[in-house]
Amino acid sequence: MKNQKSESKLMSGNFKDIYRKSITKPEEFWSEISNDIFWFKKPTKILNKSNPPFYKWFEDGKTNTCYNAIDIHVDKGRGDKIALIYDSPITSNKKKFTYKELKQKVSKFSGVLKNQGIVKGDRVIIYMPMIPEAVIAMLACGRIGAIHSVVFGGFASNELASRIDDSKAKLLITASCGFEPGRTVEYKPLVDEAIKLASHKLERMILFQRSGHEVKLNPPFEISWEESLSNAQNIDCVEMNSNEFAYILYTSGTTGVPKGIVRDIAGHIVALKWTMKNIYNIDAGDVWWSASDIGWIVGHSYIVYAPLFKGCTTVLFEGKPVGTPDAGVFWRVISEHKIKSLFTAPTAFRAIKKEDPEGKFFSKYDLSTFKSLFLAGERADPDTIKWAESLLKVPVIDHWWQTETSWAISSNCTGIEMMKTKYGSACKAVPGYDVKVIKPDQNLAKPNEMGDIVVKLPLPPGTFPTLWNADERYKTTYMTNYKGYYQTYDAGHIDDDGYIWIMSRTDDIINVAGHRLSTGAIEEVLSEHQSVAECAVIGIADKLKGQLPIGLIALKAGVQKDNETISKECIQMVRDKVGPVAAFKTAIVVKRLPKTRSGKILRGTVRKIADKEEYKMPATIDDPAILKEIKEDLIKNGILK
């Protein structure tokens, strides 16, 4: 009870006061919040600032990720509450796991890891689809102090190999296959090729056989999940130092060497548990759904860790927003499992809007339990937000964060104080983040002035303390361009009310005849056209003006108007709303936009194609065939000759 009082006392009051305290008295602020988690040994040193930019939170504390996710709830008598709901429209499978059942499965699989010689600090790669065993493997690593590195299932072999080499993993856990709408992705050939390509040699592979898609294994190097469990004992949680690592999550680096984002254990637990109530207004026992993948940061933070730290029910969904089987699947899942809030990418809602612009599927389901929708991953255009609001009749909140931070930098903190929506803005900085805008001349921007968005150091708990085995790269990549600040590589402005407007990635700011323009601002205008489902704007090289913007637009289903008319109308809208200075004269209707599997549009790759620059096929691309289609569209419209 003491711990709960500490949190509620801290969080009483309005947003302004809470935010101010987080910035002016960060150690006191996070010390109070840290009372709400389980410690084997409570920290006495809250923040070590002696070696910037390498800050350490809760330095002398001892805790455990898995204990805070599962055991604590069983020990408090909540073991019969549902921890995890698995819903797979692709395989028609559904399962529910109580906290007690999940603890049993995780502690048994911890015994499997121990039998394979895995000890505290060893790395384990998890290359799996969205199945409960993937979550069990992640939590089992945390239980014994191993560092997991989840790689998106179906990722290219060379990318998997580079992660094996960089992490020096001992063990790889995989499955026989993953399922996409209309196709099966066989994992074993991809894994076999990655093992051949990797110079570092794994010691063992554990493979989960999916029903009807079993593959032949080659013992003793390869062992099935079932066989590995046969002689495993249950294992208890080990004590971990606060600043030991929970996981490595790789992001593609510009040099071709992936960047290993690491997460320290205590800060991760403290911050993520706090966010569930204060940002998302989710309490223990509520049903929460993050429609992402465990291979991405959203899946780490908000499918697995944060909801379990809080004692919620979390949904693991193996499906897509459309095609499994239709554009009503999100409404079915929300209705069936009585979900309170959903967190997904704007791309998912644009896909639903494109397939079902009238929202006909929505009326089939009862969504009376549903209270809020949170969007992040790509900028949420105002048109998509308004469409979702009118359909759902609940707050639709665009918030902004990154793999590096693991939780939101800016949001409407609905559990503290609901703020008004400003369409196109990701709301205000979340407590803990001192966000600024810096112009190219290194001066702080005035309100509404465009520039690079940065966060004053130290970053709050739960963010990345460094990169895996790459302290110097951490410093030079993120902490050097603006002294005393973390460079987010996002660009935008902060208005007079403190609302943050993320307009584009830094490299999506284009220079048209000396005018710095945001591609996001032009996209915002295009997305308002009634026929446009989604769009992307890129800056292509131009001898006269330096760069010129071109728009790629994908249309909603059932549009009758011809493409040429739509293009002309879009060009006129940009001229009317952004002005002739944008020199926007080309809007190309395309069948679909090239995206990563997590829903980010590959603007940089399209720009390179248009400028005839060399480019590498992005490892995360959802469907490589789209780039060929885009190339043909660029040729047809005279962009590529």
> Does residue 583 surpass a pLDDT of 70?
yes
Percentage of the chain surpassing pLDDT 90?
Answer: 76
Question: Mean pLDDT throughout 125-153?
Answer: 97
Question: Mean pLDDT throughout 286-303?
Answer: 95
In whole angstroms, give the CA distance from residue 144 to residue 422. Answer: 45
In whole angstroms, give the CA distance from residue 124 to residue 379. Answer: 33
> Does residue 599 surpass a pLDDT of 80?
no
Report residue 347 as tokens: 């791309």
Q: Which helix (H) or strand (E) holds 539?
A: strand 532-542
Cis geometry, peptide bond prior to residue 52 (ω within 30 degrees of 0): no
pLDDT of residue 506: 65
pTM of the model: 0.85
pLDDT of residue 516: 59
Report residue 107 as tokens: 């502690």
> Does residue 417 surpass a pLDDT of 80?
yes
Q: Would you say how long the chain is, in residues?
A: 641
- List the beta bridge partners of residue 505: 490
* CATH numbers and ranges of domains, the chain: 76-83+98-241 (3.40.50.980), 513-636 (3.30.300.30)
Q: What angle do CA 194, 196, 199 make, to 5 degrees?
A: 95
Report residue 144 as tokens: 């014994």
pLDDT band, very low/low/confident/very high, at 9 (cuts 50, 70, 90): very low
In whole angstroms, give the CA distance from residue 86 to residue 317. Answer: 6
pLDDT band, very low/low/confident/very high, at 256 (cuts 50, 70, 90): low
Question: Are the CB atoms for 553 and 587 separated by under 8 Å?
Answer: yes
159 or 497, greater pLDDT: 497
pLDDT of residue 508: 63
pLDDT band, very low/low/confident/very high, at 514 (cuts 50, 70, 90): low
In whole angstroms, give the CA distance from residue 477 to residue 454. Answer: 13
In whole angstroms, give the CA distance from residue 384 to residue 353. Answer: 8
Q: What angle do CA 81, 84, 89 make, to 5 degrees?
A: 135
pLDDT of residue 486: 97
> Does residue 537 surpass a pLDDT of 50?
yes
Question: Mean pLDDT throughout 376-391?
Answer: 89
Of the candidate ranges 113-117, 220-224, 392-396, 509-513, the one whose mean pLDDT is the lowest: 509-513
Question: Mean pLDDT throughout 441-462?
Answer: 95
One-letter amino acid at 214 equals E
CB atoms within 10 A of CB 76: 12
One-letter amino acid at 560 equals Q
Q: 372 by DSSP, 3-state: which?
A: strand
**What DSSP assignment string belongs to 278-312?**
HTT---TT-EEEE-S-TTSHHHIIIIIIHHHHHT-
pLDDT of residue 156: 81
Question: Are the CB atoms for 178 and 126 separated by under 8 Å?
Answer: no
**What DSSP assignment string belongs to 488-503?**
EEEEEEE-TTSBEEEE
